[in-house]
Amino acid sequence: ADVSHELRTPIAALRTFNELLSEGQVPDEATRQEFMEQSRQQIERLDWLASNLLELSKLDSGLVLLDLRPDDLRAVVENAIAQAQPSADRKRVKLVAKLPGEPLRQRHDPQRMGQVLGNLIGNAIKFTPAGGRVEVSLAPTDDGAEFRVTDTGVGIEPRELPYVFDRFYRGAGASEQRATGSGLGLSIVRSIVEMHNGRVAVTSVPGKGTQVSVVLPADVSVSSPAAVRA
């Protein structure tokens, strides 16, 4: 039911744009170009939904193999920051990293953890106004390591916090920004973190910002051998 609801909106919009353009009911070139741009955005949304649904399906069915390597976790943060920097620059959001001075090596899947940080940093940038700040930190813990993504954005209402990892949940606040996403990113984050036997948590103050914490244990033991390639 959720998937059907999510797909119905862009499909209906595309049908309307196509009918108006095909029937010659567009009065001028500026309107035609606007319809074409709106159609492009709806196609991108459909592609985003399909990609995220496929990703969740693979995670749910155990088809994803973790490629666990004893690499430096700082590289995950550095790569995620580099990929997100153009987006932060466009929004005029300051993106900074706080990393240990020494390598922090422990077993993890670099690509999947990069996906986790990419999602979290992308969300933080999206909900942080121009002139704001997003900080990505990494620190050792007693039994592993902790990533934190902290922003000075719009924040999340307390009543919404228990649901932010639910699929398709976008919340009531900041509706314009939330409407542009798939509502699946945080579900994917939670699935990948739990595959690492880790945990993820969110704290937030409306109007002041949000912090997402990802804690990974040093000893990543996977219950199903089929779910890991070490």
pLDDT greater at residue 28 or residue 194: 194
User: What letters, b where the CB count within 10 A reaches 16 and e where it falls short, cover 125-147?
Assistant: bbbbeeebbbbbbbeeeeebbbb
Q: How confident is the model at residue 229 (pLDDT cuts 50, 70, 90)?
A: very low
Q: So what's the pLDDT on residue 185?
A: 82
Categorize the per-residue pLDDT at 224 as very low, low, confident or very high, splitting at 50, 70 and 90. very low
Residue 200: predicted pLDDT = 95
Tell me the mean pLDDT in the region 4-10: 73
Q: Do 119 and 80 contact (CB within 8 A), yes or no? A: no
pLDDT of 206: 94
**DSSP letters along 56-74, please?**
HHHHHHT-PPEE-EEEEHH
Q: Residue 151 above 90 pLDDT?
A: yes
What is the arithmetic mean of pLDDT over 173-188?
62
* pLDDT computed for residue 5 by the predictor: 66
- Specify the higher pLDDT residue, 5 or 117: 117
Q: Distance of CA 64 to CAs 107, 115, 183, 198, Å? A: 17, 13, 21, 16
Overall pTM > 0.85: no
Mean pLDDT over all residues of the chain?
84
* Res. 91: pLDDT tops 90: yes
pLDDT in tens, 51-88: 777 777 777 777 778 889 999 999 999 999 999 999 99
User: Residues 115, 193: contact at Cβ < 8 Å?
Assistant: no
The pLDDT-based confidence of 29 (bands split at 50, 70, 90) is confident
- pLDDT attached to residue 36: 85
Q: Which of 84, 66, 58, 56 is closest to 198 using CA atoms? A: 66
3-state secondary structure of 76: helix
Q: How many CB atoms lie within 10 A of CB 185?
A: 20
CA dist 182 and 91 (Å) reads: 20
pLDDT of residue 173: 52
Instruction: State pLDDT tens for residues 181-202.
Output: 557 888 889 989 998 999 999 9
pLDDT tens digits along 93-144 = 999 999 999 999 999 999 999 999 999 999 999 999 999 999 999 999 999 9
**Nearest CA to 36 among 26, 23, 47?**
26
Nearby residues of 55 by Cβ (< 8 Å), 6 or more positions away: 184, 188
Q: Determine the Cα–Cα distance for residues 95 and 109; give it in Å rounded to an integer.
A: 24
Q: DSSP secondary-structure letter at 93? A: -
Q: List, as one string, the DSSP characters of 115-133.
A: HHHHHHHHHHHHTS-TT-E
CA–CA separation, 36 and 21 (whole Å) = 9
Inform me whether the pLDDT recorded for 230 exceeds 60: no
